[in-house]
Amino acid sequence: MKLAYWMYAGPAHIGTLRVASSFKNVHAIMHAPLGDDYFNVMRSMLERERDFTAATASIVDRHVLARGSQERVVDNILRKDKEEHPDLIILTPTCTSSILQEDLQNFVNRASIISDSDVIFADVDHYQVNEIQAADRTLEQVVRYYLDRCHRQEKWDQFLTDAPSVNIIGIFTLGFHNQHDCRELRRLLRDLDIQINQIIPEGGSVEELQNLPKAWFNLIPYREVGLMTAMYLNKEYGMPYISTAPMGAVDMAEWIRQIQKNVNTLALSSSSKRVDYEPYIDGQTRFVSQAAWFSRSIDCQNLTGKETVVFGDTTHAASITKILVREMGIRVSCAGTYCKHDAEWFKEQIQGFCDEILITDDHAEVGDMIAHMEPSAIFGTQMERHIGKRLDIPCGVISAPVHIQNFPLGYRPFLGYEGTNQIADLVYNSFALGMEDHLLDIFGGHDTKEIISKSLSTDIGLIWNPESRLELSKIPRFAREKVERNTEKFARQKGIETITVEVMYAAKEALNT
């Protein structure tokens, strides 16, 4: 038992639901009590999703507790099957079903005999894995299910596509800037003349998963989700994969070179010609991305040696740390991640780029560390943004968990060459604001602070009796002054001298009319 106010990664079923609802025509049924379908709210509100989220609950209530789910789960699966004809139904366990220990696999077996949809049981344990790990597992599970089946049915078509092609694995709903990143990757691959075989899970169809092995190799932009699938495809089908995140100019170049190597290795055995992307990298780095030039421009001299703290998921925290240090000349006092399960990789990546490494999922620890270091800027999640607010340190948000403002409508990739521009802006603006703030502090603000009072109460003394004074103090601060002003105005009009609680509310009513 531990005291917790906040968490970076959600419970396991959220990961499964994110993968399930990203696929086209896949329905998730949660085995959960009333109120656990909060995922639908998040998807509808944060992603501003226009469609109903394909996730429902098979409700666990008092009766289920007493007698077991019995027919209920099977009935709910069959009902969904009949109503919406999904390709796949994923029965998703929650923390509640983990302890009820009902044989959900058995329900799945029974339902799949009758239903037209495929039915699987998500193999995630609430107490073993978190949201991110569960998403990774579920994606692998779905891919494995369809490839295995295809194998059994011997409908196997294992030929690679003629031209070089890739799968992009791990783009999905409620991911940090995933939609924009995906668009940027498409553009890059088109420039490199590489076809996209499939993008999963976002917008993908499970019926087509059997064609995954036709791609020459796999791209895993974010290592949190997709790596398991890539490793499985590598083991079973010998598909190579690139798990470098194409974030920042240096890693971009590295990523494209890996693609080149893979294309050329496979090109040997097919009729395609060898490729050379070096001129492309050179042109993009120098002229398309403004980031390299920007770092050398005079503006960025001010950033030299400034101290920062970076915190986020492994992919973003590691990439941003490297960008800050080697591409912008900023010092990272501490870099950290909440993905404890992938800590070794993270440490290895940022070795030598920062003074300290912090692996924790306790936001208080991160807060204490930031307070202790007093950096000029923070790059972290929404939590670090709030920590920054409290400590008066500017913060750029670089990783999930995030709020609605981190699902921008405008084009804001973090990956690719356009991504380098976006990151440069984000970094620069965080510091510039911090600097401005500091200067304002030194010189005492923009303006002298004598604001002429908007209240009319200076001339004739209206008396607020103790009760009304108390009542006024209960009104939230942002509205208090307005209420005070309106009440006094009302009192003056009515010729009232002593303001009582009654007068306050009479004023409110009068205002309504």
Partner 1 sequence: MSVKIDETLTVECETGNYHTFCPISCVSWLYQKIEDSFFLVVGTKTCGYFLQNALGVMIFAEPRYAMAELEEGDISAQLNDYEGLKKLCIRIKKDRDPSVIIWIGTCTTEIIKMDLEGMAPKLEWEIGIPILVARANGLDYAFTQGEDTVLAAMAHRCPEPEFSVRERKETIQNFFISHSRKKEELVEYANHPSLVLFGSLPSNVASQLNLELKRQSIKVSGWLPAQKYTDLPSLGDGVYVCGVNPFLSRTATTLIRREKCQLIEAPFPIGPDGTRAWIEKICPIFGIEPQGLEEREERIWESLKDYLDLVRDKSVFFMGDNLLEVSLARFLIRCGMIVHEIGIPYMDKRYQAAELSLLQDTCMKMRVPIPRIVEKPDNSNQIRRIRELQPDLAITGMAHANPLEARGISTKWSVEFTFAQIHGFANARDVLELVTRPLRRQKNLEDLGPTTLVRK
386 binds partner 1 (CB under 8 A): yes
Do the annotations mark residue 170 as ligand-binding?
no
Least separation in angstroms between CB 18 and partner 1: 13
Binders of partner 1 in range 461-490 (CB under 8 A): 471, 474-475
Q: Which tokens is 136 given?
A: 């990774």
335 binds partner 1 (CB under 8 A): no
CA–CA distance, 286 with 299 (Å, rounded to integer): 18
With the CA atoms of 57, 61, 66 and 71 taken in that order, what torsion angle do they form, in degrees rounded to the nearest 10? -30
Residue reference for tokens 């329905």: 27
2 binds partner 1 (CB under 8 A): yes
Is the previous residue joined to 164 through a cis bond, with omega within 30 degrees of 0?
no
In contact, 43 and 174? CB cutoff 8 Å: yes
409 binds partner 1 (CB under 8 A): no
Least separation in angstroms between CB 195 and partner 1: 25
Do the annotations mark residue 239 as ligand-binding?
no
34 binds partner 1 (CB under 8 A): yes
99 binds partner 1 (CB under 8 A): yes
127 binds partner 1 (CB under 8 A): yes
Size of the site for partner 1 (CB under 8 A): 61
Among 276, 348, 459, 509, binds partner 1 (CB under 8 A): 509
Distances (CA, A) of 473 to 100, 463, 464: 49, 15, 12
Among residues 299, 392, 437, 441, which one is catalytic? 299
Least separation in angstroms between CB 175 and partner 1: 16
Element holding 20 (H helix, E strand): helix 12-22
3-state helix/strand/coil string of 384-397: HHHHHHHHCCCEEE
Do the annotations mark residue 36 as ligand-binding?
yes
Among 17, 20, 31, 36, binds partner 1 (CB under 8 A): 36
Would residue 299 show up in a list of annotated catalytic residues for this protein? yes
| DSSP conformational letter for 51 | S
Q: What are the residues whose beta carbons fall under 8 Å from the beta carbon of 439, sequence distance 6 or more?
A: none
CA–CA distance, 295 with 329 (Å, rounded to integer): 8
Nearer to partner 1, 92 or 295 (CB): 92
CA–CA distance, 153 with 162 (Å, rounded to integer): 25
Within 202-301, strands assigned E span 217-219, 241-242
x-marked contacts with partner 1 along 42-81 as a string, rule CB under 8 A: x-xx--xxxxxx--xx-xxxx--x----------x-----
Nearer to partner 1, 272 or 360 (CB): 360
DSSP H helices, 92-238, are 95-100, 104-114, 131-152, 178-191, 227-237
Binders of partner 1 in range 3-22 (CB under 8 A): 3-7, 10-11, 13-14
Active site residues: 299
Binding-site residue numbers for [4Fe-4S] cluster are 36
Question: Which residues lie near partner 1 (CB under 8 A)?
Answer: 1-7, 10-11, 13-14, 32-38, 40-42, 44-45, 48-53, 56-57, 59-62, 65, 76, 83, 94-96, 98-100, 126-127, 130, 386, 389-390, 403, 471, 474-475, 501-502, 505, 508-509, 512-513
